[in-house]
Structure 1
Amino acid sequence: MNLFNLCVFGKLVEETEGAFGTIFTYVICALGAAGVSVLLQPAIVRGAVSVSLGASGAIFGLFMVSVLARISWDPRRLLEGLILGWFVVRQVLSEAQAQVAGGLTIGGLQVGHLAHLGGALAGVLLVLALKSVPDPDAGGKA
C-alpha cells in the first residue's frame, strides 16, 4: 500500500514541485515522522524496545503537500484540492482516532500512528515555510 500511495501522491507532488522538490519533501516529511515518533512514542513497549520503521510517515507528508500545493483559485486545481483534501482529512482523522484508541497491530507489529501524524505535520509546516519565501519569478511581488 505504501508503494501505491508513494506512486500516486509522489506524482502529484512532482507535478507541482518537480523531481527535486518531491525528494526534498519526502526526506523532510520522513525526518518529521521519525522525530515525532522518537519524541512522543515510548521507547519500551511491553518489555521490548520500540522502533519506528517505514515509509508511511513520509507518505502522509506527501498527502498533505499534494493537497496544499493545489490550493488556488483555478477551478480545476481547486476541485482537485477538494477531492484530495477530503481523502487526506479522512486519513489523518483515522490515524488520530487509531492513536487515541490504542493503535492498530498488523502482522504482530504496532502501526506507527504518531509517525503518520508527524509526517503529515511536517508536510504542512514545510508548505507554510515555503509559502513565506518570496518567489524569485514574481519580481518581488508577494
Structure 2
Amino acid sequence: MSGSDMISQLELDKPEERRKPKKSVNGVFWIILLNLGLYVADHVFQVRSIKSLYLYHNFPAWYQFVTAAFCHANWNHLSSNLFFLYIFGKLVEEEEGNFGLWLSYIFTGAAANFVSWLILPKNAVSVGASGAVFGLFAISVLVKMSWDWRKILEVLILGQFVVEKVMEAAQASAGMSGTFIGGYSVQSINHIAHLSGALFGVFLVWLLSRVPSQPPKNKALNLREKRDKTS
C-alpha cells in the first residue's frame, strides 16, 4: 500500500465528528464593526443621515425596525451592548454558522423594535442592539442545551451573569431619565426590547426546529463504496 493510500484509509477510519471542519466566527466581528461604524458616523462625524435609521414611533419607516438595532444613543449604550454581543454572538455563530448569526440578530432585533413600537409612547425613539443581544443570549442557551455537564455548567454561568446584569440595569433605571432627540424621547433602558428579544429568540429556535432537515450523507461510506466498485 502506498503512502497516499494509507493516508486516505486513515481519513476514512476517523469519526465523522473529528473530520468536520470548525465553523469560522467572523460574522460577529462584522456586526460589531457595523455598530461601531454607524456610531462613529453618527456621533463623531455628525452625519445627519444616520438619524434617519433610528426608529421613530410616531411614523416609522419599514427599514427602521432593522436599522435601529445597529444604532446607539451614546458610548455607554454601545459599549455594554458590544460586550454581550461578542459573547453571545460568538456562541451562536460557533453553533449555527455565519448565516444563523445574522438571521438571529436581525430577526430578534427587528422583532424587539416592533414590540417596543407597539407598546411605548408615540414620541419615543428606539435605538440599540439590546433586543438582538438578548435574543442571541436566549438562542445561545437553547442551542447548547444537552445532558453534557460541561454545557450545562456553561449555560448556568452565562445565565446567572446576564440575569444579574439585567437586575442591576432595572435598579439603576429608577434614577435615569430619557434623553431627547428633536423632541423625541430616547429611553435609557428599554426592558420591553430585552424581554421581547429573548422571547423571539426562543420562538426562532422553536420555529427552525420544526423545519424538517435531511440527515447528512455519510461521506466516508460513499467513498468506500466508490473504492469497492473501482477495485
Report the TM range for the smaller structure's normalisation.
0.7 to 0.9
Tell me the residue number matched to 1:46: none
- Displacement of 1:68 after TM fit? 1.0
Q: Gaps spanning 5+ residues in structure 2: where?
A: 1-79, 180-185, 218-231
TM-score, structure 2 normalization:
0.50
Distance 1:13 1:51, change over 3 A: same
Q: Which of 134, 139, 155 matches 1:65? A: 139
> What SS does the aligned partner of 2:196 have?
helix
Larger Rg: 2
- Displacement of 1:83 after TM fit? 2.1
Deviates more, 1:103-112 or 1:17-26: 103-112
Higher relative contact order (CA 8 A, sep 6+): 1
Runs of 4+ in 1 over 4 A off after TM superposition: 89-92
Q: Which of 88, 95, 112 matches 1:9? A: 88
- Displacement of 1:107 after TM fit? 7.2
Q: Which of 103, 122, 127 matches 2:200? A: 122
- Displacement of 1:90 after TM fit? 4.2
TM-score, structure 1 normalization:
0.78
Could you tell me how far apart the structure 1 residues matched to 2:155 and 2:98 are?
20
Distance 1:77 1:90, change over 3 A: same
The answer to whether the 8 A contact 1:64-1:88 is kept is no
Q: Gaps spanning 5+ residues in structure 1: where?
A: 44-48
Could you tell me how far apart the structure 2 residues matched to 1:130 and 1:122 are?
12
Q: Which of 76, 89, 99 matches 2:150? A: 76
Q: Kindly provide the amino acid, as one letter, of the partner of residue 41 in structure 1.
A: L
Could you tell me how far apart the structure 1 residues matched to 2:88 and 2:135 are?
10
- Displacement of 1:30 after TM fit? 0.5
